[in-house]
Amino acid sequence: MSSLEIINLSASINGTEILKGLSLKVPKGEVHAIMGPNGSGKSTLAKVMAGHEDYIVTDGDVLLDGKSLLEMDIDERSREGLFLAFQYPAEIPGVSNANFLRAARQARLPEGEEIDAVAFYKEIYSKMDQLGMDRKFTGRSVNEGFSGGEKKRNEVLQMMMLEPSYAVLDETDSGLDIDALKIVAEGVNAMRSPDRGFLVITHYQRLLDYIVPDHVHVLSDGQIIKSGSKDLALELEEKGYDWLKEEGLIKA
């Protein structure tokens, strides 16, 4: 029961089917990686789980600890323990980073309970220090004018503050130089726990040198076409995605 389970999921945008019966199960305590060529549907999967309104689910389901995610409101998905870090994080002008996180934390408290502001700031500063983020980012509007790398660190900060049961990270490595990548990976690794599952989406193997996955899945044309151990990522790095075509797994 304690898993994020994607069952035979099909979804389309503007009448084009992008996910074509995708199945994948991430039990708590495990880190799964999804790799795949550009355009294979990786970000679509993340956006469908987030409840993005442009996507229509045509078949299948996603279960969060046995409960249908697709039937939940968007904010409910988050309160139930799902966190998504997007490839292109949204900017929220006029809402400071600190207020945004405070509101998200407040929404998780029982009725009538108030956040302890002093403890909240102590915690956010300590996490920002861990991620090498300047404290001035608490006062800036969420992601507005942030560089690519700053946005990615900010996504990880959000994840650290929300302590989700399941985190889906879409190309959190893109836009990061190697030092920033290591810091972000350390942040993720520090959160690995028997009570948490991760789905790490990446085009490149490099991230998986630092966030070592328990399982690797290859997404192609909207389906998982191969699964394996972390060694599969190395094989993909070495041979590219074309050898799967030669094996007849990817439709040419």
Binding site for Mg ion (CB under 5 A): 42-43, 87
Using alpha carbons only, how large is the chain's radius of gyration in Å? 18
Rounded distance between C-alpha atoms, residue 185 and residue 164, angstroms: 16
CB 36, CB 220: distance < 8 Å: yes
Q: 40 touches which of ligand ADP, Mg ion, none (CB within 5 to 8 A by kind)?
A: ligand ADP
Rule CB under 6 A: say whether 13 interacts with ligand ADP: yes
Task: Describe the crossing of helices 148-162 and 117-130 by its angle, rounded to 10 degrees.
Answer: 130
Total residues binding ligand ADP (CB under 6 A):
12
Q: Which of 4, 41, 77, 82 binds ligand ADP (CB under 6 A)?
A: 41
Q: Which of residues 42-101 bind ligand ADP (CB under 6 A)?
A: 42-44
Token pair for residue 11? 């979804």
147 binds, among Mg ion, ligand ADP, none (CB under 5 to 8 A by kind): none
Between residues 41 and 164, which has the closer beta carbon with respect to ligand ADP?
41
Query: Minimum distance between the CB of residue 124 and ligand ADP, rounded to whole angstroms?
Result: 30
The Cα-based distances of 191 to 169, 197, 204, 208 in angstroms read 13, 10, 22, 16
145 belongs to the binding site for ligand ADP (CB under 6 A): no
CB of 42 to ligand ADP, least distance (A): 3
Is there binding between residue 39 and ligand ADP (CB under 6 A)?
yes
Answer yes or no: are the C-beta atoms of 228 and 205 closer than 8 Å.
no
Coil, strand or helix at 147: coil
- Location of structure tokens 């990446």: 202
Is residue 217 near ligand ADP by the rule CB under 6 A? no
d(CA 124, CA 122) in angstroms, rounded, equals: 6
Residues near ligand ADP (CB under 6 A) are 13-14, 16, 18, 36, 38-44
